[in-house]
Amino acid sequence: MPSDAKGLSSLLLAVADDELIIGHRHSEWTGWAPHIEEDIAFSSIAQDEIGHANLFYKLLSEVDGRTPDEIALGRQRGEYRHAIVCERPNGDWAYTLARHFLYDSAEQVRLEAFAESSHSPLSDVSEKLLREERYHRFHAEAWLERLANGPVEGRHQISAALISAMRDAVGLFEPIEDEEVALADKVMPNTSEELLQKWLTEVTKRIESAGIVLDLASKDGAELLPTSSGELPQPLEDTTQPASISYRDGRWVLDGTLSGFGGRRGAHSEDFTALWDDLTRTYREAPAATW
């Protein structure tokens, strides 16, 4: 156990919240997916992510004192530390798949790093989760392959969706709070910046090999569908300055306004307001109760 658990706590909270919020979003497709067999498959992925969150909250509970459910469902909006990309509404199937691909690639990079963590419960859990993640990545890549190499409309849809999702997904590697402490303890073996570099190399290679060009300045965004509760969400904010991700002098450089940052400090978008309300509604009706 590290002498100062601050770094460990921040790390676990960020990762657990990412898993919970994206699992929550994925689970919203249950009953609605565009192909019944796919509905069943994606529902398992949703359950996996929520299960992963539970495992990380359990690790956190050991240093925190609150129960996993209290941590997961008992906080105010500003106390959540997930990346903004996770809270975006599902939009349509293209956006969901694009986000799924980017998120699970990030998970892979992250878990591989944490498998070397000085905190052995974390390294054990990370190794275990990598086995489930293999299937998530297979699923995302099979869809990316199929859409990129299939009929024209599917190609347009996935390209536009990758652009939309990428603008926010970089926020997955926003530095966590107390990152210096986590690094000093080697609880976190690599910096967020190092992980971002690794992730960008992998996803851009994968996307390019599927024959897709990521021009983030493009005005195309994914067309948004009503959320499964029936309400039409506001379209994603149009970034006013052109954004880009380019490779210069041996590293990836982010320019312009990318919308996905702030989550690691608890600064979330309007999208999280309705999500938090849903997520915590029943729990808040009787916080001390068992269900």
Partner 1 sequence: MTYEDKLAEFKARIDSKDKIETNDWMPDEYRDAVLKFIEMHANSEIMGALPEREWIPRAPSLRRKMSLTAKVQDEVGHAQLLYRVAEDLGKSRESMFEDLINGRTKFHNVFHYPTEHWGDVAIIGWLIDGAALVTQRALLDCSYAPYTRVMRRICSEEQLHLRHGEDITLELANGTERQRWMFQDGLDRWWEPIMHFFGPPSNPAKDVLLRWGIKSKNNEELRGEFLDHYVPRILDLGFQIPDTGLHFDESTGHWVPGEIDWTIFWKIVKGEGPSTQARLSMRRKVWDHHRWVREALSEPLWSAA
Partner 2 sequence: MQVWEVFQQKGHTDAYAHVGSVLAPDPLMAMSYAKECFFRRKEGMGLWVVRRADVHQSTDHGLLEQVTDKSYRYPEAYRGVVAKRELARAKFAPASAPRRAAAVAGDDF
Q: For partner 1, which residue of 2, 6, 44, 262 counts as binding (CB under 8 A)? A: 44
The 10 Å Cβ neighbour count of residue 202 is 14
H or E, element range at 88: none
H or E, element range at 244: strand 244-248
85, interface contact from partner 2, partner 1, none, CB < 5-8 Å by kind: none
Q: For partner 1, which residue of 4, 14, 62, 93 counts as binding (CB under 8 A)? A: 93
Rounded to whole angstroms, how far apart are CA atoms 81 and 10?
Answer: 8
Could you say whether residue 51 binds partner 2 (CB under 8 A)? Answer: no
Amino acid letter at 104? D
Of 17-25, 139-147, 186-194, 263-271, the window that binds partner 2 (rule: CB under 8 A) is: 139-147
Rounded to whole angstroms, how far apart are CA atoms 268 and 18?
Answer: 13
Rounded to whole angstroms, how far apart are CA atoms 18 and 183?
Answer: 20
Rounded to whole angstroms, how far apart are CA atoms 136 and 212?
Answer: 21
Of 35-43, 88-96, 152-160, 218-226, the window that binds partner 2 (rule: CB under 8 A) is: 35-43
Could you say whether residue 142 binds partner 2 (CB under 8 A)? Answer: yes
Is residue 239 within 8 A of residue 167, CB to CB? The reply is yes
63, interface contact from partner 1, partner 2, none, CB < 5-8 Å by kind: none
Residues near partner 1, by CB under 8 A: 20, 23-24, 27-28, 30-32, 34-37, 39-40, 43-44, 46-47, 50-51, 53-54, 57, 68-69, 72-73, 92-93, 145-151, 153-154, 157, 211, 223, 225-226, 228-230, 275, 278-279, 281-283, 285-286, 289-291
